[in-house]
Chain A
Amino acid sequence: MFGQTLYVQWKWNRDFLAFYTAVGFAAPLLILWIALPHLGLTSARELVSVGRVVGITSAVIAVVAGLTVAWHGYGIDDRVGHIYALSLPITRSRALGIRAGAAALILTLPALGVWVGASLAASQVDLPTTLHSYSGSLASRALLAAWLAHACMFALRYSAGRRAQLVLATLVICIGVLGFATEAVPSARGVIMRAGDFVISNPGPFGVLFGRWTLIDV
């Protein structure tokens, strides 16, 4: 059952996955190839800045890949009235569990692309002794970020169904209102800021997205 679901997921998403894997592979190389001739006599600080650009690009690729796989899978399913899922001799929960597992597996591809591209890029730079490359750590973060982004979109689409856009809009409005409240209701600022800090830092839900993303660091 898992193999069949994995194959279906792969068929649905292989174009996107190929694109994100290629971009994840090429981005570190391209960024360093563009940056290094301009850096010339490279200083450590400039290399760290370039590594940070590579890291942030990898994060964006991973998050978009995760969101796309979840959004696209549900979209195809929804267009045909979930016939495929309903035809399977298993419960809804089990079908979704298998689908999430399959998505998690195929999302390793963009992370692999990031890892190979970042490793190749780092090997071409003559790093000072004070700096290190973190291609493995960067790819691992990319994988975690892709899984998290996929899980968020997966939860939104399969929990809210056709009301997903409404729920998403409500969430965005709520975040905007909270942001506004930090200025409009000063007494609530402390609570909102603490809550925001928790959400975007480890061990909060989105700590992996807002942590440090860089290929080259001290």
Chain B
Amino acid sequence: MSSPRTLIAAIALAAATAVVSPLTAQSVRPNTDSLLDRIRVLDSAVIVRGRSVDSIRRSLVRPVPPIAVRRGALEVRTVAAVESRVRVAVDSVAGLIERRGGPELAARVALHAPMVLPDSSRAMFGMVRVLALVSDTARRSAPIARRPIPATATASQIADGLASMVEQFALQGVDSALAAWVMVGRVPLRAASATEAGNTYIELATTASAALRRCRDGDAPSCLDVLGIDSLPGTRLERWYAPDDYRALLGIVAPAREDSVAVTAWLKCRDDRDAAACVTAATALPNNRIPPPLSPAARVMFLHEVLTAGGPAAYGRLVNASGSVRTRLEHASREPLDTTVRRWRDRIERARPDRMRLQPGFVIASLGWTGAFLGLAVVRRRSWA
């Protein structure tokens, strides 16, 4: 097989290879180096970007605080510096959950692990130390989701923040009909403060609404109507406002700008106090634009009354029941809603803030300070000038 011609060809190929191979090596080496350099550049870029990502991750996701304060269904993670205050606060809020929410709320609260940790907040000059209340360890918390309270907050202030959080947990995941009726995104486990109740009284006493006046006079269906629980027949305007109330109503809502007749009447009503124009403008308002006469604060007070009447299991009955809001509230309170409405109204009437009455302590304090200032001048023992 190995003919002389084949042998010569093999020798020539070998010789050619021997001559060419150093050249080939020289041409491949620069290509490899550039690839290596490229890899090194990309690698360093990846390292730099990785550090940025880690930095962002560290700023967004903090390590879970080491101390777990647990009482009943409520577990709060915190740090040693505030542990004693958090313990007192957790005891208070856990009691609230047991008294007001029962096992249904406890189960919902157990799904969360709120945190109380030292943090800082930006001030005009520099930073200020605060305590941040974060609703959960499981979620990445944006700074806006944190509720800062002063770093020196007392246990009761921390309890107040935790209770607000629990009230929000209580409304998470409930059906939209109930959530929409409550409006404020929380179930009121705590009673309204004297100021809140007083503000509701002022609202009832000063809002121009025929339905509210009927409600204050003892008409339970009107109360249920303004609370958004049960509608009386007719449009919102007919149900809630009398012609005497139209001008006040038109102070907070205006007709559509396309309706030139209504807009003209609205201007005449507002500027000239023309009663006929007020009627024209008010009746031109679409039904869905008529605002309810009562604010959500009044609803929250009413819901608290329902939960109080129904006892610890009322919350469970409220969120698990089906049907209209009225049915569910009645199911939760285990009493006719007329009874609850009467109690709610009496409570608001009792909350009337007597702001202008001069209390004896107030007069004595004022006279005492006046005397103290006069004393500063009288006791001075130097010359007149």
Residues of chain A touching chain B, judged by Cβ–Cβ distance below 8 Å, are: 38-41, 43-46, 48, 77-78, 81-82, 85-86, 92-93, 96-97, 100, 130-131, 134, 137-138, 140-141, 144, 147-148, 151-152, 154-155, 157-159, 161-162, 183-187, 189-190, 202-208, 211-212, 214, 217-218
- C-alpha spacing A68/B204, complex, angstroms: 42
A208 x B366 contact (CB < 8 A): yes
For the complex, is B10 an interface residue (Cβ under 8 Å from A)? no
For the complex, is B361 an interface residue (Cβ under 8 Å from A)? yes
Set of chain B residues within 8 Å of A204, measured between Cβ atoms: 365, 369
- C-alpha spacing A103/B341, complex, angstroms: 55
- C-alpha spacing A1/B358, complex, angstroms: 33
Set of chain A residues within 8 Å of B18, measured between Cβ atoms: none
Given known contacts A186-B127, A208-B366, A134 and B373 CB-to-CB distance under 8 angstroms = no
A86's contact among B201, B248, B372, B384, by CB below 8 Å, is which?
Answer: B384
B377 x A137 contact (CB < 8 A): no
B206 x A45 contact (CB < 8 A): yes
A140 x B207 contact (CB < 8 A): no
A184's contact among B125, B278, B376, B380, by CB below 8 Å, is which?
Answer: B125
- C-alpha spacing A43/B208, complex, angstroms: 6
B248 x A45 contact (CB < 8 A): yes
B206 x A44 contact (CB < 8 A): yes
- C-alpha spacing A137/B357, complex, angstroms: 6
B356's contact among A38, A187, A217, by CB below 8 Å, is which?
Answer: A217
- C-alpha spacing A39/B272, complex, angstroms: 10
10 additional contacts, CB 8 Å, given A96-B378, A202-B362, A218-B353? Answer: A44-B208, A81-B385, A86-B384, A100-B378, A130-B216, A148-B370, A155-B373, A186-B126, A189-B123, A207-B362
For the complex, is B43 an interface residue (Cβ under 8 Å from A)? no
B366 x A148 contact (CB < 8 A): yes
Shortest Cβ distance from B240 into chain A, in angstroms? 14
B356 x A41 contact (CB < 8 A): no
B373 x A187 contact (CB < 8 A): no
Q: Which residue of A lies closest to B130 (CB)?
A: A186
The total number of A-B Cβ pairs within 8 Å is: 143
Shortest Cβ distance from B202 into chain A, in angstroms? 5
Given known contacts A154-B377, A202-B362, A40 and B125 CB-to-CB distance under 8 angstroms = no
A137 x B125 contact (CB < 8 A): no
A82's contact among B124, B201, B273, B385, by CB below 8 Å, is which?
Answer: B385
For the complex, is B345 an interface residue (Cβ under 8 Å from A)? no
Q: In this complex, which of B125, B216, B373, B385 has the most chain A Cβ atoms within 10 angstroms of its Cβ?
A: B373
A-B contact pairs, 8 of them (CB 8 A): A41-B244, A48-B206, A134-B356, A144-B370, A148-B370, A155-B373, A186-B127, A218-B206
A144's contact among B244, B361, B367, by CB below 8 Å, is which?
Answer: B367
Leading 7 A-B pairs by shortest Cβ distance: A186-B128, A40-B273, A203-B365, A158-B377, A82-B384, A151-B373, A130-B205
A41 x B273 contact (CB < 8 A): yes
Set of chain A residues within 8 Å of B125, measured between Cβ atoms: 183-186
Q: Which residue of A lies closest to B152 (CB)?
A: A190
- C-alpha spacing A79/B265, complex, angstroms: 65
B206 x A190 contact (CB < 8 A): no
Shortest Cβ distance from B363 into chain A, in angstroms? 7
Q: In this complex, which of B152, B216, B245, B374 has the most chain A Cβ atoms within 10 angstroms of its Cβ?
A: B374
Given known contacts A45-B208, A184-B125, A144 and B366 CB-to-CB distance under 8 angstroms = yes
Given known contacts A82-B384, A151-B370, A190-B150, A41 and B247 CB-to-CB distance under 8 angstroms = yes
Per-residue CB contact flags for chain B residues 85-111 toward chain A (1 = under 8 Å, else 0) read 000000000000000000000000000
